[in-house]
Structure 1
Amino acid sequence: MSHETRQSLEKDGYRAQLAVCADGRVLLRSRQRTDMTAWFPEIRTAALAQLPADTGLDGELVVWESGRLAFERLQQCLTRRGAGAAKAGQEWSAHYVVFDLVHAGADLTGRPYARRRAALEELFASRELRAPLTLCPATTDPAVAREWLSWTAAGLEGLCFKRLDGPYVPGARSWQKYKVRVTAEAIIGAVTGTLTAPRTVLLGRYDTAGRLQ
């Protein structure tokens, strides 16, 4: 790690851009430009209440359940509309974890990441932004980054590395990812399915008492 990069947490969620337009409209869309605003009414409500008009953010949608990230709950939110989406928002409230500020009354994409990050932190502080809008932690301290790598039990996948002097590049991978890999030995007990249908693999492991589970 060098002083020219900053590390951010990598989460198990959906990348999305959130915009509050100058006319007050809210737009939440995926990297593929799919409009997801109706699927996450709690995010739209928070954006209208907390963010100034003419603001554009880049971040990730996540859902917490029982102290860890629940990607399957997030997927379920994407299948609901209207009253169903509102009910899903009450059961499994999504959070929008923000890691970049791309528009604040003017286009910020050409500015270096260090300046965009400073502006993002100022936005959170001055507007007292709160959940479900969340500021993604970031650091230039290697010791802190190493500690974050131990948070995999909560569903965090690893770290993202961004150059402090780099501009924002829409639709491009302008940063690097480091994902934690955890391996374990297991016994394959059975394989179900056919060549044309999805297969299920039944795995077993020995517990501390030597019993196959």
Structure 2
Amino acid sequence: MTLQPPVEPMLAQAVESVPGTASIGELAYEQKFDGYRALLFNSTRAGGGPVVQTRRGLQIQDRFPDLVSAAAQLPDGLVLDGELVVWDAKTRRLSFEGLQRRTAARGRTTRQGLAQSLPAFFVAFDILQQDGIELLRHPYRQRRLRLEALFTDHELSSPWTLCPMTTDLIKAEQWLETWTELSGIEGIVVKALNQPYHPGHRGWYKLRRRDTTEAIIGAITGTPIRPQLLLLGRRDPQGHLRPIGRTGPLRAEASRLVGGNLTEATPEHPWTGMRFVSAWGSRDALKVTLVAPELVAEISADTAVNRGGVYRHPVRFKRLRLDVTAAEVPFYTDA
């Protein structure tokens, strides 16, 4: 095979609106799934086997014996780019938490058991090599046609899934408005039809659906007069304040507004002694100052949400809701 792992995947930069066609040519729109970015290498030559590579270059095929077994459907010399997701049979929905469990699982018996209760799916959106021939220089339009033909000619079925794509902007906007209400779909990815595949380059664009809601400010970074980040929470039905995420850096005007309304925390603050990290999945601790959990922030957040409504990405602070009490904020739930 020409391509061998690790290969850096091509990346997407976040944007607020669809870029104009005048600058990058005709566009295609794909549904963006909320999973793990993965490249799949399928080679049976010289005793090799399928390899599942993460965005950071790790090989995790041993965690997904169901995908390895299903690779018998695939032709030799193939490299696919896509998103790795899992299906929770109990909740009947795509589950990011389940994907984490499968990736972290140790022991063959555990991995086989999870493959039954949390089956994996590979949502393919690009083909980088076929029959051992590298396709990176081919425009996306040609690679997509090859990918569609692959699924048709080989009658590929579960766990191999062809990522939905359209060149119709109106249909893509409908996806952004309606499909993102489903668990596991968080937005759309925009690609130029004449674009080759550039490993490691942020040449695509991604739009996530964002919803507006409220949360309680429970802690800050920076100073109470000029807070930098807000750490947010919601109360569960028993009245306990549960962390749900944090904002990005506040603008100067917003920082002054929030700082002018903060109240010092009492020793009974529910987050006393709690450790907060700088980003989802990070081990770097934040230096925080607890504040009275009374102020309500209106926030804008994407749909990448874990169980209980915990946001994996920083949310955007929109404004203080001085007209809303902490008791009126939506509950934290374990659903």
Shared fold per TM-score greater than 0.5: yes
Secondary structure of 1:165's counterpart equals coil
Q: Counterparts of 2:216 and 2:121 in 1: how far apart (Å)?
A: 38
What's 2:276 paired with?
198
Note closer, same or farther for the CA distance 1:102–1:193 as it changes in structure 2 (3 Å cut): farther
Secondary structure of 2:173's counterpart equals helix
Does residue 43 of the first structure (1) align with residue 71 of the second (2)? no
Compute the displacement of 1:159 (Å).
0.4
Q: Which of 122, 126, 137 is residue 100 of structure 1 equivalent to?
A: 126
Residue type at the aligned position of 2:123: V
Which moves more between the two structures, 96-105 or 167-176?
A: 167-176
Note closer, same or farther for the CA distance 1:193–1:30 as it changes in structure 2 (3 Å cut): farther
Q: Counterparts of 2:67 and 2:168 in 1: how far apart (Å)?
A: 31
Q: Counterparts of 1:123 and 1:204 in 2: how far apart (Å)?
A: 54
What's 2:43 paired with?
21
Which one scores higher on RCO, CA 8 angstroms, separation ≥ 6?
A: 1
Q: Counterparts of 2:329 and 2:137 in 1: how far apart (Å)?
A: 54
The answer as to whether partners of 1:98 and 1:135 remain within 8 angstroms in 2 is yes
Q: Which of 59, 63, 85 is residue 111 of structure 2 equivalent to?
A: 85
Does residue 112 of the first structure (1) align with residue 155 of the second (2)? no
What's 1:8 paired with?
30
Q: Which of 101, 114, 117 is residue 76 of structure 1 equivalent to?
A: 101
The answer as to whether partners of 2:214 and 2:329 remain within 8 angstroms in 1 is no
Q: Counterparts of 1:54 and 1:22 in 2: how far apart (Å)?
A: 8
Q: Counterparts of 1:204 and 1:153 in 2: how far apart (Å)?
A: 26
* Superposition TM-score, scaled by structure 2 size: 0.57
Residue type at the aligned position of 1:88: L
Residue type at the aligned position of 2:80: L
Note closer, same or farther for the CA distance 1:71–1:205 as it changes in structure 2 (3 Å cut): farther
Does residue 185 of the first structure (1) align with residue 210 of the second (2)? no
Compute the displacement of 1:31 (Å).
1.2
Compute the displacement of 1:193 (Å).
3.9
Q: Counterparts of 1:171 and 1:13 in 2: how far apart (Å)?
A: 19
Q: Counterparts of 2:64 and 2:102 in 1: how far apart (Å)?
A: 7
Secondary structure of 1:178's counterpart equals strand
What's 2:168 paired with?
141
Unaligned runs of 5+ in 2: 1-17, 218-234, 236-240, 242-269, 278-292, 294-307, 309-325
* Superposition TM-score, scaled by structure 1 size: 0.88
Residue type at the aligned position of 1:71: F
* RMSD (Å), alpha carbons: 2.5
Note closer, same or farther for the CA distance 1:83–1:55 as it changes in structure 2 (3 Å cut): same
Compute the displacement of 1:143 (Å).
1.8
Compute the displacement of 1:61 (Å).
0.4
Compute the displacement of 1:28 (Å).
0.5
Any residues of structure 2 matched to 1:57-72 within 5 Å, and which? 57-65=80-88, 66-72=91-97
Identity %: 38
The answer as to whether partners of 2:44 and 2:50 remain within 8 angstroms in 1 is no
The answer as to whether partners of 2:32 and 2:188 remain within 8 angstroms in 1 is yes
Note closer, same or farther for the CA distance 1:113–1:186 as it changes in structure 2 (3 Å cut): same
Does residue 170 of the first structure (1) align with residue 199 of the second (2)? yes
In terms of Rg, which structure is larger? Answer: 2
Unaligned runs of 5+ in 1: none
